[in-house]
Structure formats: C-alpha cells, structure tokens
Amino acid sequence: MSDDAIYIVGVGMTEFGRFDGEDPELAEQAIRASLADCNLTWADVQFAVGGTNGETKPDNMVARMGLTGIPFITVKNGCATGGVSLMTARNGMLAEGHDIACVVGYDNHARGAFAASPARYGIGPWYGASGMMVTTSYFALKIQRYLHEYAMDARTLGYVSEKAFDYASAHPLAWRRKPISVDEAMDADMINDPLTRFMFCSPDAGAVSLVLARGSRAFDLCDKPVRLAAVTLRGRRPGSFEVFSPWLSPGPRTSPSVDAAAAAFATAGIQPSDVQVAQVQDTESGAEVMHLGETGLVAHGAQEAGYRNGDYLVDGSLPINTDGGCIANGEPVGASGLRQVHEVARQLQGRALGKQVPSRPTIGFTHVYGAPGISACTVLTTEGA
C-alpha cells in the first residue's frame, strides 16, 4: 500500500428523477451520505471539488456544509463533469498532500434542458439550421453509420434498452424502474431512426458524492476501500466526429474515448480483458454499443452477439451498466459520471444497491463522454486485484 494511492472510502447518492427543489439540496444530501458512509464529518475534509452543468456554484456548498476554510473547486465540463471532478480531487490530494477529499456532482434539469445553441460551442448558425444541434439527430446518424460499418442488426439497440430497464427495476435509486422487452423497445415511438423513445436518456435530477482518502488513512475508514487505480481525461484529435464537433478530417478516425480508455488501462497496468464490471456512457442505446468498442472492452462488431448471449447481464462475462445507466437513470449532467463510479465501487465492495454481480469482481472500469468531444475513464480495484 503506497501513501500516494488514493482510495474511495465513502459513497453517497440521491434518487435520480424529477425534483422540485434546488440543486444544492441534492448535493448536500449526497455529501452527508458519503461522509456517514465512512464515519467522517465535514470538518475532516481537507479538499473538495464539485461539478454541475447548471447555473449554481458548487463551491458555495460550504455555506451549507460548514465554513472550515478548505479549498473548494468548481468544475463544468459537460457530460464529462463527474470524471473531471474526480480527477481534480485526486490530483489536488497528491499535489497538496491532503489525506481526505470530497467530490460531489449534481444537477436538476427541467424537461428540454439538453437544448443548446451553436454559438455556445463555437459553431455557426448553419449547424443549427441543419438540425444537428438536436442531439437525437446526431446520435442517430452516428449509430446508423456504425451499424452499417460492422454489419450489425438494429435490434441490438433493443437489447441495450431491455438490459438497462431490467437492471433499473431492481435498483432503489434508479428513475425508470419498469422493465421492458426488446420488442417493446423496438416498437416504441421512433424519435430518429433507428432510435426509439425507450433508447434515449432524459434530463432529470440527482447528486452523487464520494469521499477519497490517501492510502495511509483509507483502511482505517473503510472495511473494503476501492483504489482509484487510474483516472484519465482526453479531448478530441483530428479525425474525430463528436457531438457538437461535426467534422471528419482525411486520414484515420480517432475518438477521445479510445484515447482516454487506453491511457487509463496503461496507467493501471491492466488490459481491457481484465475488467470484470463496467460502466460506459449510454446517452442512448447506440452510444453504449459504440463505446464498448471504442474503450476496447469488446471488439468492434462483436457487440451484437454479446447482447444476444447475455454477456453483459449481471451473471454474464462482462456486466455493463448494472444500475441501468443513463437510459434508465436519466442524466443530471454533473452527477452522471460519479454515478458510474458509485455503482462500480459498490459492486467491487459486494454491496450493490440493485443486482449484485455474483462473481466477486475486483477490477472495474467507468467511461463518460460528452460535448464537444471529451472523455474521462477510471479503473477501480480492490485488494487482491
């Protein structure tokens, strides 16, 4: 055990769904739950990071939690906010020599909150006029190309949704808990071909908090600390085709998800084949399919067989998005990446709130992706990995 090793020792999460109150209420609930999980108080925290895609300022959480004088950093990085917040907390601990840190992500989005203007992303008005600022159009275009390129049946997307809602049906904090079948997913209202209503996430509310501890403290605070073996962030390079970044240059195609995942595995010293439970960004069903390939967890084109064979179910060879993912939980942007880490950490500790992976996993992976082309990945391990 190295003193430079950083562990997750406490986790806390609110229910995800529609919420009438203010964002900071959710953040406070999550922070207090994560501190209680490791028997600490706010006074024990030496460094904090908060992420949101909304208009509130996470660093003002000290007004609710306590004016202890600690540095509190605010992060806003689109859908990758949670991953960036976690990386910032880890880096701050190492740079400043802190033993205990707290990271929180939260948002409370109203219906239609994912609308965006081209100007905010440095794109001309022509892009909005083309319809591509409507993210459903972008996602549909990208998965159509992917399915064609790898000769996969569109029914694969129905399997993604069936799995998501099945997992969520057993999770007490998930938003949409009613199971659906592959046929129901395929026959639902078409939004953008081939993606139907049951294949998309929606804006909603939720908060997640994690407490991090340096190796010298971690095993005093938690029976089974989860080591943050890697947390990496990458942006787009020439050749990427990303949401709100709509171009492809001549030459090889690239992706920030490919780069972030490769960096995470290299840092942790493992291979994608070593992963035993994972979360990948599933803003819609096609995203999960593509991200399984881009992260190296599954060979491109092999996803269809994996879904049909049940490989990604809780008792399969690689359980994926075991809390229902974004499809069933929605996407409060600041919380979404930390929700992934929350779920995988609990799976590794053997105390999942929903369906527990029965094979006693010791190595987990998370991947989050967002506009205008940024990806953050983590590798999580427990003792014996």
What DSSP line would sit under 164-196, residue for residue? HHHHHHT-TT-S------HHHHHHSPEEETTEE
The token pair at 36 is: 């209680």
The answer to whether the pTM exceeds 0.85 is yes
Q: Are 347 and 306 in contact (CB under 8 A)?
A: no
Q: Considering the domain boundaries, does residue 23 fall inside one?
A: yes
By the 8 A CB rule, do 234 and 228 touch?
A: no
Print burial letters for 207-232: b (CB count within 10 Å at least 16), e (below 16): bbbbbbbbbebbeebbeebbbbbbbb
Judge whether 51 and 82 are in contact, CB under 8 Å.
yes
Q: Is residue 50 part of a domain?
A: yes
Q: In this structure, are residues 379 and 262 in contact, taking their beta carbons and an 8 Å threshold? A: no
Q: Is residue 11 in a domain?
A: yes
Q: Within 10 Å of residue 129's Cβ, how many Cβ atoms?
A: 10
Of 48, 23, 377, the C-alpha closest to 212 is 48
pLDDT reported for residue 370: 84
Look up residue 344 and give its two tokens: 């995988």
Torsion angles phi and psi, residue 203, rounded to 5? -65, 140
Is residue 379 in a domain? no
State how far the Cα of 112 lies from the Cα of 76, in Å rounded to an integer: 19
Tell me the residue range of the domain where 16 lies.
6-111+204-214
Q: Is residue 40 part of a domain?
A: yes
Q: Looking up tokens 């929700």, which residue turns up?
A: 339
Quick check: helix, strand or coil at residue 293? helix
Domains held by the chain: number: 1
CA atoms of 136 and 142, how far apart (whole Å): 10
- Domain assignment of residue 79, yes or no: yes
Which residues, in sequence order, are bridge partners of residue 379? 230, 365
Query: In this structure, what CATH number is given to the domain that contains residue 27?
Result: 3.40.47.10
Residue 57 covered by a domain: yes
β-partners of residue 204 are none
pLDDT at 225: 97
Residue 353 vs residues 170, 256, 270, 343, 349: alpha-carbon distances, Å: 8, 31, 27, 8, 11
- Walking along the chain (385 residues) 10 residues at a time, the average pLDDT comes out as 85 95 92 98 98 89 96 92 95 95 92 70 79 82 94 98 98 97 97 96 94 94 97 91 73 89 98 98 96 98 98 98 97 95 98 97 96 92 76
Asked if residue 194 has a cis previous peptide bond (ω within 30° of 0), the answer is yes
3-state secondary structure of 138: helix
3: helix, strand or coil: coil
Residue 176 lies in a domain: no
**Closest by Cα among 354, 176, 367, 167 to 261:** 367
